[in-house]
Amino acid sequence: MGYSASLAGLIVLPFHTIRLVLSPISGALSDKFGTRSASFIGHFTLLVGLVVLTKLGNGSPIWLFITIITIGGAGLSIFLPANNSAIMGFVPRNSLSIASGFLATSRSMGTSIGMALAAAIYSSTLGSGRSMDAITAPIEAVNAVHQGITVVVLVSAIGLMAIILRGRG
């Protein structure tokens, strides 16, 4: 898209800013309405953002991209505190520190595996050693990103089903 690294960072800043603002509020709402409801709403919101993200292309306005990732960030900020609370709620009090460490490790591993999978999908979609001209390269890059996001959508849909199927809470 031709943006500088600084501008690209500013463009994705709302994703993290909304998380900073909503996470503390989301924790309180999760306590009030239950972790299952908050987890579902947050995960569903994130999933909607991801699905809409797959519909964007090279000609999509930047404000639309910012709006969509902000919605995704809001969903994540609602989901994470509720999910963490649900997990920690099942752990005996004397094992909370172990569970907290396991939760952090699982999150880090999930992020690492997810990034590796996304990179593999991206590079396999673009192909290795192929030459592309200046016209098709951006289109092919967007298609590769869409393939990666589509896999994330599928994994996220499985996560949403797990929330639906889990017990009350």
Q: The pTM is what?
A: 0.82
- Residue boundaries of the structural domains of the chain: 5-165
pLDDT at position 126 is: 78
pLDDT at position 129 is: 61
pLDDT at position 105 is: 96
pLDDT at position 132 is: 63
pLDDT at position 42 is: 94
In angstroms, the CA 49 to CA 70 distance is: 8
Asked whether the predicted pLDDT for residue 169 surpasses 50, the reply is no
What is the per-residue pLDDT across 95-139, written as a single tens digit (0 to 9) for each?
999 999 999 999 999 989 988 988 888 888 777 666 666 556 677
CATH of domain 5-165: 1.20.1250.20
Average pLDDT of the chain to the nearest whole number: 87
